[in-house]
Chains A and B, each alone.
Chain A
Amino acid sequence: MPTLKIDGKEVWVEPGTNVLEAAKKLGIEIPHYCYHPALKVAGSCRMCLVEIEGMPKLQISCHTKAADGMVVWTNTEKVRKARQAVLEFLLVDHPLDCPVCDQAGECYLQIYYMEHGLYKSRLRENKIKKEKAKPIGKHIILDQERCILCSRCVRFTREVTKTFELGIFNRGNRSVVDLYPGISELQNRYQGNLADICPVGALTDRNFRFQTRVWYLQQAKSICPGCSRGCNIEVDYNISREYKAGGRRIPRIRPRHNPKVNGYWMCDDGRYGYKYVDALDRILLPRRLDEGEPVELSWPAAYTMAADLLSEATKEGADKVGVLLSAKMTNEELFAARKLFSSLGVSRIGFRVEPKEPGYEDDLLIKADKNPNTKGAELLELGLGAGKSDVSALLDAAEAGEVDTVVIFNEDLSKSSEAERAEAVLPKLGRVIYVGTNWNATAAKADLVLPMATFVEQEGTFTNFEGRVQRFWKAVEPLGESRTGLSILAGLATALGLEPVSENAEEVFAELAEQVPAFFRGSATRNLVSTGNWLRARLGRR
């Protein structure tokens, strides 16, 4: 193990680690632009220069391997002067349009200039004009003037997506990043990451463009509900200036680094798939159908009505009730729902909904299963029959007259493989209760609709496809009168006169970990609850 000294502090690192990463281990940040831990080293920006004793010139720390006995100085006069000179060169043709640039506030030119800037222009020449505001993909817009040619984006399309769309063209101060000739736009499904890795404002997000300023945003750690991968994400929300971004509370979502799940990346489907959260079709109030006419209800009335419907149904026989939970619900909600319905004597509790068409899958991140918590539901031993679509089983039973009351949680059956049958069978059933976030064909026909909160409006855990239980936190309050799944289940339990259920996700998880052997016990639970780090479910450890 090489042991080296950085700024007088000793550190040992794995062989092959570069000086920049070794310094990071000590908590020393060396300014850099082109270096990205997930990409190959380019060494083009020259910002990470450090002084190494015994070497005649300054060395770039990103491309210098840590060696035994090395003595590195990262903040000497010589180094600071070099950084200032590098920044001066990088800014020679930079347009300084920070006021209109979406990167402003999180731009590394701004951040490093605060400490290493020259603050006095020596430039007499005119700045080179290049192409501005050029859309190069469905989600990305390019500004060549702002580019510092670090080539992170070029390396991303070469090494991560392997789609080779971007390159650097021309020479000298006329060099530009652009699409290769013959390519009209970015084709890959991970292009949103380009805006994240661009250290300046050259590549920005078209979805986020001019929506708000980054310093208005607050962050909540979350888990992407787009597929069973469970990418770690940061939800950027804005509640201080509600008129921004067309009233959307969530202007963007960014990946959060987790080397075990998603690395530094996330896919576009997940990144831009959150918009239902603030969509106009959110269910805001409980509603019942009175001879086909919708009537809005208050929550106490809705709970009473739901309890009446369920107790009527269970009086006729608990096996006449079918419950369709959703793999979009958290472990805690699934557990609380299982507890509630099994104490009513209901045994038909399913969750598998087969989509009309199989989902897209690749070998980078995207999984075919578009539900975030299928594994969690499986570990909770829900489901009506292994591998089979639970919707089909429920509809079979309904057609045979074995089921006449259905409770559906947040699943639009009109988008499932059983759409036609569901459309025919559901209206014939005696009682249909729908608990969900957005209006859809299934909700429109239900006798009682209860509004549920989305993933950004509650906390909980999802279990990803490999059995990692990952926690996410609440970002914003539930929209309108909607309530979290746990709160709805707790209200139902009270209305039915059953044992009260906790609304607190942490408490429910502790109980879940206590009772379900597949989840953790004791200290592991506390660890998960406090840090939110991934942990592996016992059955998932293969």
Chain B
Amino acid sequence: MRIPQSEKELTFWERIYFPEVFRGLAITAKHFVVNMIRHTLRLLGFKNVPKGAVTYQYPEEIRPISTRLRTMHRLARRADGSPRCVACMMCETVCPASCIYIVAGEHPDPNIEKVPIRFDIDLGKCIFCGYCVEACPEDAIRMDTGIYNFAAYTREGMVLTLEELLAHEPAPYVSVPTQDKAPDPGPLAKSQPVSAPASA
């Protein structure tokens, strides 16, 4: 893609270089001083002062995530532990990345009839658009596990199988804390490879 270039001519002061360097340094220094003052004043009890900027020391320190963030998928279970999914293939149809693979089978209960015997999601292809969650008529597929830091050494390792999807649990609701307190990483701090499912 061609990046449009600015046609603007540099002024004399920009061309002699050093004034611009010092201007940049001044901006950095301004941020440092302003945040330093804000943090100090709030520490001294001035609650009306705006909050200062914070840097999270990821991965030691985990930033709190919003509950509506689309994270790794899971499949909801019925009371007996079987998948709630009826393999209607709506998610597979709507998926813009074609990363869902479903093979349907017969369910012993004629009132349920259809059940997936294979349900793979290739996270290497998934774009986390959440259309599958939108399309699901049974509310069976959800993206609320809170797991977003997954990686694998192979392409095959990025594939979630039916068993892994069923084993995932939803992330418990954690309100986004104010920045006064150190955020509790809690269950959101789960960091694991895809191939090792979270204990149910």
Quick check: is A368 within 8 A (CB to CB) of the other chain? no
Known: A210-B104, A210-B106, A244-B103. A133 touches B89 (CB 8 A): no
Q: Mark A117-148, 1 if CB is under 8 A from B, else 0.
A: 00000000000000111100000000000000
Give complex CA distance A210, B104 in Å. Answer: 6
Expressed in whole angstroms, the minimum distance between the Cβ of A111 and any Cβ of chain B is 18
Expressed in whole angstroms, the minimum distance between the Cβ of A143 and any Cβ of chain B is 9
Quick check: is B93 within 8 A (CB to CB) of the other chain? yes
Closest B residue, CB atoms, query A245: B103
Contact partners of A216 in chain B: CB under 8 A: 93
| B82-114, CB < 8 A from A | 86-90, 92-93, 101, 103-106, 110-114
Q: Is the CB of A132 within 8 A of B113?
A: yes
Quick check: is A169 within 8 A (CB to CB) of the other chain? no
Q: Mark A97-123, 1 if CB is under 8 A from B, else 0.
A: 111100010000000000000000000
Q: Is the CB of B87 within 8 A of A210?
A: yes
Quick check: is B163 within 8 A (CB to CB) of the other chain? no
Q: Is the CB of A100 within 8 A of B114?
A: yes
Closest A residue, CB atoms, query B88: A99
Among A131, A134, A210, residue most surrounded by chain B Cβ atoms (within 10 Å): A210
Contact partners of B114 in chain A: CB under 8 A: 99-100, 210
Contact partners of A97 in chain B: CB under 8 A: 113
Give complex CA distance A383, B118 in Å. Answer: 52
How many chain B residues touch the partner (CB < 8 A)?
20
Contact partners of B89 in chain A: CB under 8 A: 213
Q: Is the CB of A213 within 8 A of B93?
A: yes
Q: Mark B99-140, 1 if CB is under 8 A from A, else 0.
A: 001011110001111100010000000000000000001100
Known: A210-B104, A243-B101, A244-B103. A99 touches B110 (CB 8 A): no
Quick check: is A360 within 8 A (CB to CB) of the other chain? no
Expressed in whole angstroms, the minimum distance between the Cβ of B81 and any Cβ of chain A is 19
Give complex CA distance A99, B114 in Å. Answer: 9
Contact partners of B93 in chain A: CB under 8 A: 213, 215-216
Q: Is the CB of B105 within 8 A of A100?
A: no
Give complex CA distance A211, B111 in Å. Answer: 19
Please report whether the interface of chain A is mostly helix, strand, loop or mixed according to DSSP: loop
Contact partners of B110 in chain A: CB under 8 A: 131-134
Among B93, B105, B113, residue most surrounded by chain A Cβ atoms (within 10 Å): B113
Give complex CA distance A133, B104 in Å. Answer: 15
How many chain A residues touch the partner (CB < 8 A)?
18
Expressed in whole angstroms, the minimum distance between the Cβ of A47 and any Cβ of chain B is 26
Give complex CA distance A210, B106 in Å. Answer: 8
Expressed in whole angstroms, the minimum distance between the Cβ of A144 and any Cβ of chain B is 11
Contact partners of A215 in chain B: CB under 8 A: 93
Give complex CA distance A243, B137 in Å. Answer: 23
Known: A213-B93, A215-B93. A100 touches B106 (CB 8 A): no
Give complex CA distance A213, B100 in Å. Answer: 14
Q: Is the CB of A100 within 8 A of B113?
A: yes
Give complex CA distance A98, B118 in Å. Answer: 20
Contact partners of B105 in chain A: CB under 8 A: 210
| A44-75, CB < 8 A from B | none
Closest A residue, CB atoms, query B120: A243
Partner of A100, one of B86, B92, B103: B86
Contact partners of A98 in chain B: CB under 8 A: 88, 137
| A403-458, CB < 8 A from B | none
Known: A99-B90, A100-B88, A213-B93. A132 touches B111 (CB 8 A): yes
Q: Is the CB of B113 within 8 A of A243?
A: no
Closest B residue, CB atoms, query A209: B106
Expressed in whole angstroms, the minimum distance between the Cβ of A295 and any Cβ of chain B is 34
Contact partners of B111 in chain A: CB under 8 A: 132
Give complex CA distance A211, B104 in Å. Answer: 7
Closest B residue, CB atoms, query A210: B104
Q: Is the CB of B101 within 8 A of A133?
A: no
Contact partners of A213 in chain B: CB under 8 A: 88-89, 93
Contact partners of A99 in chain B: CB under 8 A: 86, 88, 90, 114, 137-138
Give complex CA distance A99, B141 in Å. Answer: 14
Expressed in whole angstroms, the minimum distance between the Cβ of B192 and any Cβ of chain A is 28
Contact partners of B87 in chain A: CB under 8 A: 100, 210
Closest A residue, CB atoms, query B137: A99
Contact partners of A243 in chain B: CB under 8 A: 101, 103, 118
Give complex CA distance A98, B89 in Å. Answer: 11
Expressed in whole angstroms, the minimum distance between the Cβ of A290 and any Cβ of chain B is 38
Expressed in whole angstroms, the minimum distance between the Cβ of A305 and any Cβ of chain B is 41
Extra inter-chain contacts (18) besides given A104-B88, A213-B93, A241-B101, CB under 8 Å: A97-B113, A99-B114, A99-B138, A100-B86, A100-B88, A100-B113, A132-B110, A132-B111, A132-B113, A209-B106, A210-B104, A210-B106, A211-B104, A213-B89, A215-B93, A216-B93, A243-B103, A243-B118
In the A-B complex, the 7 residue pairs with the closest CB atoms: A99-B88, A133-B110, A100-B114, A210-B104, A132-B110, A100-B113, A100-B86
- List 20 A-B residue pairs with CB atoms under 8 Å apart, sorted by A's residue number: A99-B88, A99-B138, A100-B86, A100-B88, A100-B112, A100-B113, A100-B114, A131-B110, A132-B113, A133-B113, A134-B110, A209-B106, A210-B87, A210-B105, A210-B106, A213-B88, A213-B93, A243-B103, A243-B118, A244-B103
Residues of A within 8 A of B (CB): 97-100, 104, 131-134, 209-211, 213, 215-216, 241, 243-244
